[in-house]
Chains A and B, each alone.
Chain A
């Protein structure tokens, strides 16, 4: 039963656009699936390999700008950004990894955080390449209808899921978790920790970059403050995984759904809506205290609490 759940979910999602739902809801689902991709990518590095990154906006933005610059400067379709972002983001991840991966724990987190900020400031000032704060606008949309965007991101998400699933069950996955649990022990068991952390970072970065490249084509407009955002990209990536469940397959998907919905709902509340980051912060505190393994990770515990509550 549990084995078929991902396939069932994929089938249901694939049928969604056929139900004739409104464009708004299709947009929401596209966002949910895009955030699932970013969450799964972050989870690979942060959840399994234990390297908590506060700078995934760097990779998202690199992917987004690969698409954007291709369109703006070379005049080719922004969709070419999907394959090309793999190359650009890998290169970026290698450089960032070279600098950050020699640090451990909180120092790694801080270094990645600064990387995201550095790239944002760079993109803001490199006017000849990125158009700076003006941003890049994709003037001809591929489709007016959102259906195909939905299927493209769904395909990326399904691919990401399979990649993560395959990696976690393989030697790579064992090495990632070994590094998370004890880096010194891993090293003494013959695991080249620097190499495998770099692999984890590159994989995670490339998958995040794909989401970024998709974002450019889908939204049709990017600027540095949006795609390199600390609070709207880097932090939300962490929250998606924390809320859903660290180092679980389904966690990022559940987390993405909750976070996107929550953001939409909170935004509709008058006055309070502007403070959605504050409410996210409160949510994160609650999650860390009561369900530290996320909703999927602590599912047995949640069932017990609510089951008991129902009976009494």
Chain B
């Protein structure tokens, strides 16, 4: 049984179809990348899975039970955490407090939440910045704070929305290591990414969206050689 199953999901905004009949599954323990040009519907897909938007048609199943229609906090409680493309740190809280706030979900006692938060900060190499007010954090670290916060809810599935965008090469390598470590913990990962080098290096399977439709699904090797994908998306990269 798939960990997460997206079944014929469509999402309309007025007359605009942001997603049309998208279906795919996410297997336990794998890294699935969702790629596609700007406006392809990737973030909308995350918002539907996470519960911010209800699906106009179709449904999302988590471990066999339907989660579409649930509010985001319920989806998170079930074990699906997410990060945001446009980072949303709790600005006037310290980095540590940010993570404590989300650790409370599964660790109701304050001492437990604090300890869990410290673990997550060490895991994402943010421990040295724990007392910084998160408003003052540089982008690379904010992206990692998003990951730390999502992990502190102790999810089974984590949705990473462009956690690599805007990072410098050092930060990029650091983040790749973190993703690998998350996978080693047995957490299933769905990731939206534009950075092809990263995608090809870490993902087990790739789903390609274009204008809200799934145009391909397969291993990185298959996607690289898929004509339709190359035309829609990778063409630019090859000519460069």
- Please give the residue numbers on chain A whose beta carbons come within 8 Å of chain B beta carbons, in ascending order: 169-171, 174-175, 177-178, 181-182, 184-193
Contacts A/B (CB < 8 Å), 19 sampled:
A169-B110, A171-B108, A174-B100, A175-B101, A181-B90, A181-B92, A182-B89, A184-B84, A185-B88, A188-B52, A188-B73, A188-B81, A188-B82, A189-B149, A190-B77, A190-B105, A191-B73, A192-B73, A193-B73
Q: From residue B161, how far is it (CB to closest CB) to chain A in Å?
A: 11
Q: State A177–B97 Cα separation when bound (angstroms).
A: 10
B76 an interface residue at 8 Å Cβ cutoff?
Answer: yes
Inter-chain contacts of A192 with B (CB < 8 A): 71, 73-74
Q: State A175–B76 Cα separation when bound (angstroms).
A: 15
Q: From residue A181, how far is it (CB to closest CB) to chain B in Å?
A: 4
Contact present for A178 and B90 (CB under 8 Å): yes
Nearest neighbor of B109 in chain A, beta-carbon distance:
A171
Inter-chain contacts of B110 with A (CB < 8 A): 169-171
Contact present for A185 and B105 (CB under 8 Å): no
Contact present for A175 and B88 (CB under 8 Å): no
Nearest neighbor of A169 in chain B, beta-carbon distance:
B110
Q: State A233–B93 Cα separation when bound (angstroms).
A: 31
Q: State A177–B153 Cα separation when bound (angstroms).
A: 17
Best-buried of B72, B91, B100, B105 by chain A (most CB within 10 Å): B72
Q: State A56–B87 Cα separation when bound (angstroms).
A: 34
Q: State A181–B95 Cα separation when bound (angstroms).
A: 13
- Top 7 A-B residue pairs of the complex, sorted by shortest distance between their CB atoms: A190-B76, A181-B90, A185-B88, A189-B102, A190-B105, A174-B101, A178-B101
Inter-chain contacts of A181 with B (CB < 8 A): 89-93
Q: Which of B50, B89, B104, B150 contacts A175 (CB 8 A)?
A: B104
Inter-chain contacts of A188 with B (CB < 8 A): 50, 52, 72-73, 76, 81-82, 84
B113 an interface residue at 8 Å Cβ cutoff?
Answer: yes
Q: State A177–B149 Cα separation when bound (angstroms).
A: 15
Q: From residue A119, how far is it (CB to closest CB) to chain B in Å?
A: 31
Q: From residue B178, how far is it (CB to closest CB) to chain A in Å?
A: 19
Contact present for B90 and A187 (CB under 8 Å): no
Inter-chain contacts of B81 with A (CB < 8 A): 188-190
Best-buried of A175, A177, A187, A188 by chain B (most CB within 10 Å): A188
Contact present for A184 and B104 (CB under 8 Å): no
Q: From residue B82, how far is it (CB to closest CB) to chain A in Å?
A: 6
Nearest neighbor of B50 in chain A, beta-carbon distance:
A188
Contact present for A190 and B153 (CB under 8 Å): yes
Nearest neighbor of A247 in chain B, beta-carbon distance:
B92
Q: State A171–B92 Cα separation when bound (angstroms).
A: 17
Beyond contacts A182-B91, A189-B101, A190-B105: 16 other A-B pairs, Cβ-Cβ < 8 A, are A177-B97, A177-B101, A178-B90, A178-B102, A181-B90, A181-B91, A181-B92, A185-B90, A186-B101, A187-B52, A188-B50, A188-B73, A188-B76, A189-B81, A191-B101, A192-B71
Q: From residue A264, how far is it (CB to closest CB) to chain B in Å?
A: 35
